Amino acid sequence: MKTNRPPFALRFRRFPHGPAIAALLWCLPGWAAAAPTPERWFADRPVAWQEHDDADVAAVPEPNHLQSLEMALTLRDSAANEADRILSLEGDTPAEDVNAFDEVPCSTWYCPRHHLHPMLLADLVAGPALHPPRLPLTVLKGKDLGAASGFQVKDAGGDRYMVKFDIAGHLGLANTGEMIASRIFHAAGYNVPGAV
């Protein structure tokens, strides 16, 4: 039997509240977007732009049994604790080491230098400040980690440097990558050693 009604009219006959539900669903996105966002209040305290985390430790920490459990602790911290955090459904937790403006202050490992004082292109290309070693160099020990060979040296001023060689047959592969990466991380704010 043929009818002149459109197909959706037949569906609404089976669901008498269909048009009302469709109208409600159509209005919801606009209502949610128009809902006022709650005001955000910042902490009422002085703004700290420097984190003083470079003080001497009172005493050298004593080695304990945890060093022998390195793999177990790594699994616990990276897998079990992360799964527990995700499954707990606790929501967003605020950052703990931020200043009154909710920004990260400068410390020994990080400083938002490009945010606080925009860097010139020449500063970005130069990377972290590095004074060249003063001759003569004294070899202290061989490099014990990584694929590229090298050694640790001390210059006439007592500063230590890492001398690394590129992998045989791949000139510039390892060292060039490190030079570029150190400049990118320095521009992002991390305090990294210079590379030349």
Average pLDDT value over all residues in the chain:
78
- Return the residue matching tokens 């050693």: 193
* pLDDT band at residue 156 using 50, 70 and 90 as cut-offs: very high
Please tell me the distance from the alpha carbon of residue 99 to that of residue 117, in angstroms, as a whole number: 17
Closest to 146 (Cα-Cα) out of 178, 101, 193, 192: 178
Statement: residue 7 has pLDDT above 60: no
Q: What does the pLDDT read at residue 188?
A: 92
* Mean pLDDT score, 116-139: 90
pTM score over 0.75: no
pLDDT band of 69, cuts 50, 70, 90: confident
Percent of the residues in the chain that have a pLDDT greater than 90, as a whole number: 22
pLDDT of the residue at 12: 47
Are the CB atoms for 183 and 125 separated by under 8 Å? yes
Give residue limits of the domains in the chain: 78-188
